[in-house]
Amino acid sequence: MTEDKYQTIRHPLKPYYNNDSQVLILGSFPSVKTREYGFFYGHLQNRFWPLLEQIFSVNLGRQIQERKNFLKDQKLALYDCIYQCDIIGSKDSSIKNVIPTNLKEIVENSQIKHVFCNGATSYKYYKKYHEKIIGIKAIKLPSTSPANARYSFDKLMLEWMAIKECLK
């Protein structure tokens, strides 16, 4: 695959949630590495999983089922704002021709009370396509992407602790 050509890609993952999920964490669209891995935040340099491990004081491996069990135990749901788009590689800045995901199904079949967006792109598309339908204002968190070098791990953790606070 060449990195400089647009591809039309449909979201390959199902949303992850349970009936008792209370917090929905939304990305924009899965990266190439995530699509290869087969579950959310599969890029080894993405700080999403290390952050959650630190925030919730757990050690998780790379096994998808272990990560799903953790999410279920913590009442966390994961998905993305975009169902299909034209994109170059994994570059959020290249996204165009967006078809949004159906978040209503998740909210109607869970206990979602809080929505957090992982980065500015996710937040932008949540505001544009989902907020009015869902009726929950999202909180924008700094992206855990390795491309977001502006934020140190410690700075990210301070911001992302808001998720744990919602679950008390």
Is the pLDDT score of 147 beyond 90?
no
What is the pLDDT confidence band of residue 157, given thresholds at 50, 70 and 90? very high
Q: Which of 38, 32, 24 is nearest to 80 (CA)?
A: 24
What band does 2 get if pLDDT is binned at 50, 70 and 90? very low
pLDDT in tens, 87-145: 999 999 999 999 999 999 999 999 999 999 999 999 999 999 999 999 999 999 999 99
Neighbouring C-beta atoms of residue 90, cutoff 10 Å: 17
Is residue 132 classed exposed, middle or buried when 0-12, 13-18 and 19+ CB atoms within 10 A define those classes?
A: exposed
| Residue 1, pLDDT above cutoff 60 | no
The distance from CA 117 to its chain's CA centroid, rounded to whole angstroms, is 7
Strand bridging mode 82-88 / 6-10: antiparallel
108 CB-side CA count, 13 A: 5
SS (H, E, C) the chain: CCCCCEEEEECCCCCECCCCCCEEEEECCCCHHHHHHCCCCCCCCCCHHHHHHHHHCCCCCCCHHHHHHHHHHHCEEEEECEEEEEEECCCHHHCEEEEECCCHHHHHCCCCCEEEEECHHHHHHHHHHHHHHHCCCEEEECCCCCCCCCCCHHHHHHHHHHHHHHCC
Model confidence band, residue 4 (pLDDT cutoffs 50, 70, 90): confident
pLDDT of res. 168: 74
Mean per-residue pLDDT over the chain, rounded? 95
Q: How many residues does the chain have?
A: 168
Question: pLDDT value at position 122?
Answer: 98
pLDDT in tens, 49-79: 999 999 999 999 999 999 999 999 999 999 9
Confidence (pTM): 0.96
For residue 6, pLDDT over 60 is answered with yes
